[in-house]
Structure 1
């Protein structure tokens, strides 16, 4: 596993936020009021406010070199503008400000985080992927019928998609270490292989059902295999797409896959 460069993460924060905003700005009146089916408690306005709030919060952590947790309620400007018509411009500006703060700091400055690494580099990667996934949520809020996310401009560079899935598995690993592995039903357990069909060497092997959670990049036989294009594989892993339809091929034990999708989560 090779991380992207710090500068690339900063570039992606801006680029992914711009794409999210362009999608909503181009969707016409009512776009912000549409429900987000992948985040069912939110409409698109709440989604934008959440993403902007998190970006403002991380910018504050980085600029203040915070070594303890900070409540987002104490971060000036994190609530965004009252007028919904100003929200996408605020989100785009927030992305540029946090990317600028991260660039100025570099990747190695110690700052507070909730995770396994407490550096500005951690936050650059985390914010890149935060916007990547919520951009997909924005697509799902606007799409009609069964149109694929790619029809709405949701296309990820393979390096970004693979790194987003790597980080997601690392987050699940962190959660399991803190909370314990979920107990599978009787007879469910084994290995799961995720195999991207459109990108070379984008394969993951996950061990499910033990006391710990283990995963690695690997080409290997497993009890269950899921084959799909990389972006679809990522969206399925973070429960944005169901594993069904012509993009997906499932080989082997479906209950093992269903258990993984039901329990791989954080928070």
Structure 2
């Protein structure tokens, strides 16, 4: 199956650029499979430019542990997220592992998580955050976590990266729904200077129907759908917008209209 294809049997009709729950569960496995297929014969000891504290080996362990953490919370139906079980940041000791070792381990974790999510009601309040149903949130978070870290790995290894536009569109919308407000809650002092009169950012995808306006004029960011004039607009293919907002690529090569300094300040200030 090519990277631009939906998994067989999964609905492809998406509403408002949001993947279905079933598609997200499938993409956790699909994106992991695409990642694993890129590893054969390559040096997993290379540093990852976009996560410079980690090698490819360590980043792969980070992703696999993230899958297993979510899987465990969903299977045990924990009422809230348990951060004490998360081993995804504790990866410094991993070194010298091969694709033959890590590939099956990654696929096992992704498949188990996908199965756990499909075995529960998506709207059940387990492993929830901010009042949102945990299964829905984790299906989306882990699908897009896998997408972004697949890019990190293949970029480090010099392997081409392709992704279905609807998957990239879902990742862009999740960034505005989750990463953006999380950043303002997590680092209030650092993000407060981004707010102020007349400060609006327009993200405009050129290949899918996705236009998002981020309004920074109030006490917290507000995201609106649609086309409207903003202080600055960033325009380009949706996958490139995703990489830009996740700070995986500079905005050079994309179209920028308006206050470029505001855009640079905004992208530098929103961390996730």
2:147 is the counterpart of 1:139: no
Residues 93, 137 of structure 1: CA spacing in aligned structure 2 closer, same or farther, 3 A cutoff? same
The structure 2 residue matched to 1:72, chosen from 85, 89, 102, is: 85
Residues 186, 95 of structure 1: CA spacing in aligned structure 2 closer, same or farther, 3 A cutoff? closer
Q: State how far apart, in whole Å, the 1-side matches of 2:258 and 2:28 are.
A: 37
Q: Is the 8 A contact 1:48 1:88 kept in 2?
A: no
2:148 is the counterpart of 1:169: no
Residues 251, 108 of structure 1: CA spacing in aligned structure 2 closer, same or farther, 3 A cutoff? same
The TM-score normalised by the length of structure 1 is 0.84
1:192-251 per-position Cα deviation (integer Å, ceiling 9, x unaligned): 11111122x211111235321111221111111111111001100110111113xx1111
- How many pairs align? 250
Residues 186, 130 of structure 1: CA spacing in aligned structure 2 closer, same or farther, 3 A cutoff? closer
The TM-score normalised by the length of structure 2 is 0.83
Residues 103, 9 of structure 1: CA spacing in aligned structure 2 closer, same or farther, 3 A cutoff? same
Question: In the TM superposition, what is the alpha-carbon distance from 1:10 to its structure 2 partner?
Answer: 0.9
Aligned to 1:204: 212
Q: C-alpha root-mean-square deviation of aligned residues, in Å?
A: 2.7
2:258 is the counterpart of 1:227: no
Aligned to 1:158: 165
Partner of 2:234: helix, strand, or coil? strand
Unaligned runs of 5+ in 1: 144-151
Q: Is the 8 A contact 2:171 2:242 kept in 1?
A: yes
Q: State how far apart, in whole Å, the 1-side matches of 2:200 and 2:131 are.
A: 25
2:264 is the counterpart of 1:254: no
Residues 253, 107 of structure 1: CA spacing in aligned structure 2 closer, same or farther, 3 A cutoff? same
Partner of 1:112: helix, strand, or coil? coil
1:90-132 per-position Cα deviation (integer Å, ceiling 9, x unaligned): 0011111110111111312221234441421211111111101
89-98 vs 66-75, which moves further: 66-75
Deviating beyond 4 angstroms after TM superposition, the runs of 4 or more aligned structure 1 residues are 78-83, 185-189
1:39-80 per-position Cα deviation (integer Å, ceiling 9, x unaligned): 1111100110000001011110011111244323689xx999
